[in-house]
Structure 1
Amino acid sequence: MQKAKSGTSAPPTVIGWHEAISLPDLNLLDFSIKVDTGAKTTALHAEDIEVFWRDGEKWVRFATQAMAQNPIQICEQPVLTKRDITNTGGTPERRIVIRTPMVLGGRRWRIDVSLTDRANMRFPLILGRRALRGRNIVVHPAKSYLVSEKPILERRP
């Protein structure tokens, strides 16, 4: 077991492989996600993705739905970049990436989120390891909702 670096005496925050997060700038609040340390980049379900210009800056508009009982949200965010990301089937995809605040377990920080069609997936968002890096967080692979409450209704049964 490694010792904590000098000056870092706080134990790591342990999260479950399922948690509830919020993306407040997208008005997606307290919804279930899957923590996926096998994924580098966080991926959010998005449909009807449309790039447009606003005040000389590239933006993206997309539709998403965090939980089945919620209405479909139309979100607009500045485009951070486009990245080649390998999907769950092993196929590279060119995806738009945005940067937005995330709230997990009472902590808030900005994460990069790729936009992709996750309509056939149980969770609208997978939280990749880049979003956790440098945050003193470890994932318990056998536990869920260690720092958040499970929402009453999830996106899919």
Structure 2
Amino acid sequence: MREWINLPELGMIGLRAKIDTGASTSCLHASDIQPFQRDGEDWVRFTAHLGTLVQRRHRCEAPLVTVKNIKSSTGHVQSRYVIRTDMTLGDRMWPVEFTLTCRKTMRYRVLLGSKALVTGQLVVNPALTYVQDKPVLLDISGAP
């Protein structure tokens, strides 16, 4: 299943996300990941990679939640930075934790895991895809 999402705090609108109920954690394709301190707090700076046919890069900064060891379906363990940012899907918005990792060999740059789905109180019908309309960027007045 796939859906359109926004990550407005990171300035990213109209991302294709793969819904993966078999994955616990959500992840975002990122490179050039650099932890840093801001006002005594841990932050991370990274380049998000968007799009599948046309590659776009977007430089982001976000507070660092933690560093987590993630085990892949093949059993490989990788240490990843974790951020939390608001995500919109359809008319809903809620905070989602994303691990930052290289997904350049994957078709979808964003993967939504089961924790994000449960927190957002979403019901998944695997027979359907792109149930929500593609998001549009709104100006400050709220008009499309």
Specify if TM > 0.5: yes
Percent of matched pairs sharing the same residue? 41
Q: Which shifted more, 21-30 or 84-93?
A: 84-93
Paired position in structure 2 for 1:62: 46
Q: May I ask how many residue pairs the two structures share in their alignment?
A: 135
Seen in structure 2, the aligned counterparts of structure 1 residues 91 and 55 have a Cα distance that, compared at 3 Å, is same
Instruction: Give the C-alpha shift of residue 88 in structure 1.
Output: 4.1
Q: Is the Cα–Cα contact under 8 Å of residues 32 and 150 in structure 1 kept in the other structure? A: no
* AA matched with 2:4: A
**TM-score after normalising by structure 1:** 0.80
Query: Contact 1:21/1:30 (CA < 8 Å) preserved in 2?
Result: yes
Residues in 2 aligned to 1:77 and 1:22: alpha-carbon distance in whole angstroms: 15
The yes-or-no answer on 1:138 pairing with 2:115 is no
Is 1:51 aligned to residue 38 of structure 2?
Answer: no
Aligned mate of 2:9, from 13, 21, 25: 25
Give the Cα–Cα distance (whole angstroms) in 2 for the partners of residues 139 and 90 of structure 1: 26
Consecutive aligned runs of 4 or more in structure 1 exceeding 4 Å deviation: none
Residue 100 in structure 1 maps to residue 77 in structure 2: no
- 8 A contact 1:19–1:150 mirrored in 2: no
Partner of 2:139: none
Write the distance in 2 (CA, Å) between the matches of 1:22 and 1:75: 14
Structure whose alpha-carbon radius of gyration is higher: 1
Amino acid at match of 1:50: Q
In the alignment, which residue of structure 2 is the partner of 1:36?
Answer: 20
Secondary structure at 1:72 match in 2: strand
Alignment gaps of 5+ in structure 2: 137-144
Deviations 1:87-117 (A, max 9, x none): 2432111111000000001110000000000
CA-CA distance at 1:145 after TM superposition: 0.6
CA distance in 1 between counterparts of 2:21 and 2:7 reads: 19
Unaligned runs of 5+ in 1: 1-16, 152-157
Q: What is the CA distance between 1:137 and its match in structure 2?
A: 1.4
- The C-alpha deviation readout for 1:41-70, integer Å capped at 9, x for no partner, is 101000011111111011101111221546
Q: Is 1:87 aligned to residue 75 of structure 2?
A: no
